[in-house]
Amino acid sequence: MLTVQQVSKRFGSFSALEDINLEFTNGVYGLLAPNGAGKTTLIKMLVTLLFPSEGEILYNGENIIKADERYREQLGYLPQQFGYYKHYSPHKYLLYIAALKGMRAADAKPRIAELLKLVALEDVMDKKMRKFSGGMIQRVGIAQAMLNDPRILILDEPTAGLDPKERVRFRNMLAQLARNRIVILSTHIVSDVESIADEIIMIKDKRVLHKSPIQGICSQLEGMVFETTIDYEAADEFRGKYLSISERQEQGRLKFRFIGSGEPQPNWIPTSPNLEDVFIYIYQDEAKADETA
Ligand SMILES: Nc1ncnc2c1ncn2[C@@H]1O[C@H](COP(=O)(O)OP(=O)(O)OP(=O)(O)O)[C@@H](O)[C@H]1O
Ligand SMILES: [Mg+2]
């Protein structure tokens, strides 16, 4: 079990995270928050690239900084900015990383063959990565993070830059990887974690706002999400009054999905809340700040 205990992180006088408490057991955790919320900061502390200003992180009861190498042996990590070598092939690159990790060649070779198959790069294993798509590069990144068959796999924005097809492939792959380990991935895109995460962690105002299964998170908006159709002329007033989640044209009018308030109107159709609704609801102030910035 990985435990984050009362962790705060400051950069000089700037406070990035405050009093973070988390527990991870086997399963997939989606760290879901907008840009700048502190996802990478938290992840870098989990992989010992940054140290908490206060509090500590324990793995099976032992401080991870003290456990040092013993902890890092259990860890696989894909950084947000993943540095690879364009003129290397995936095969050569993985051999190189395995050597850096101190793996014996005799162990590394069969493991690399297995991983190239797992991430579906067998056919291009000897091709230089220069011409690879974003999705292919990400899969090389995941393979390198999996070299040591880690108990804890941490992926910082693994789907950034992927097209929709590659995202689907990534999600399916992750479901396979998630057996018998802790998988933590960060993203600011709801659909990346909606179908695969056992628990969602949301950070707001430097603190953990939610850590629970999706259902639990969505239940807070139960009875508050509606759909209705509005004439174009009335749309601005409607947007000013209610929080719009999405809008689309329908037969010359606008169909809104929105968070209602006050007494529900007869033409509002109650709708089950989903994670996207909660995300927009929770971070609505930040979205407004972005628009005016
Ligand atoms: N080394 C640093 N020195 C000073 N401030 C930092 C440092 N690293 C991060 N920050 C600040 O801490 C906050 C959180 O940054 P962080 O990179 O953890 O966010 P994030 O959630 O990963 O964002 P993104 O989605 O853009 O990757 C930001 O305000 C950032 O500017
Ligand atoms: Mg980040």
CATH of the domain at 32: 3.40.50.300
Q: Whose Cα sits closest to atom 24 in ligand 1?
A: 35
Dist. CA 31–CA 278, nearest whole Å:
14
Ligand 1 close to Cβ of residue 36 (< 6 A) = yes
Contact 257, 250 (CB under 8 A): no
Ligand nearest to the CA of 46: 1
Q: How many domains, in total, are found in the chain?
A: 2
pLDDT of residue 292: 55
Same domain for 148 and 34?
Answer: yes
Same domain for 209 and 243?
Answer: no
Same domain for 152 and 113?
Answer: yes
pLDDT (tens place) for every residue of the chain, 293 residues total? 999 999 999 999 999 999 999 999 999 999 999 999 999 999 999 999 999 999 999 999 999 999 999 999 999 999 988 777 889 999 999 999 999 888 898 999 999 999 999 888 999 999 999 999 888 898 899 999 999 999 999 999 998 878 888 888 888 888 888 888 999 999 998 988 988 899 999 999 999 999 999 999 999 999 999 999 999 999 999 999 999 999 999 999 999 999 998 899 999 999 999 999 999 999 998 766 665 55
Q: Whose Cα sits closest to atom 29 in ligand 1?
A: 36
Same domain for 130 and 117?
Answer: yes
Contact 138, 158 (CB under 8 A): yes
157: containing domain: 2-218
Contacts of 211 (CB under 8 A, 6+ apart): 22, 199, 200, 201, 202
pLDDT of residue 159: 86
Of 218, 244, 270, the residue at which a domain comes to its end is: 218
Same domain for 163 and 279?
Answer: no
Same domain for 211 and 257?
Answer: no
**DSSP calls for 208-252:** EEEEE-HHHHHGGGTTTEEEEEE-HHHHHHHHHHSEEEEEEEETT
Ligand 1 close to Cβ of residue 40 (< 6 A) = yes
Of 218, 233, 261, the residue at which a domain comes to its end is: 218
Same domain for 123 and 230?
Answer: no
Q: Give the count of alpha carbons within 13 A of 226, CB side only.
A: 20
Same domain for 135 and 75?
Answer: yes
Say which of 18, 62, 157, 247 is annotated catalytic.
157
Same domain for 205 and 79?
Answer: yes
Catalytic residue status for 18: no
Same domain for 232 and 204?
Answer: no
Packing angle of the helix pair 105-118, 134-146 (nearest 10 deg) = 140
Same domain for 11 and 39?
Answer: yes
Nearest-5° Cα angle at 284, 278 to 289: 155
Backbone Cα Rg of the chain: 22
Of 174, 189, 218, the residue at which a domain comes to its end is: 218
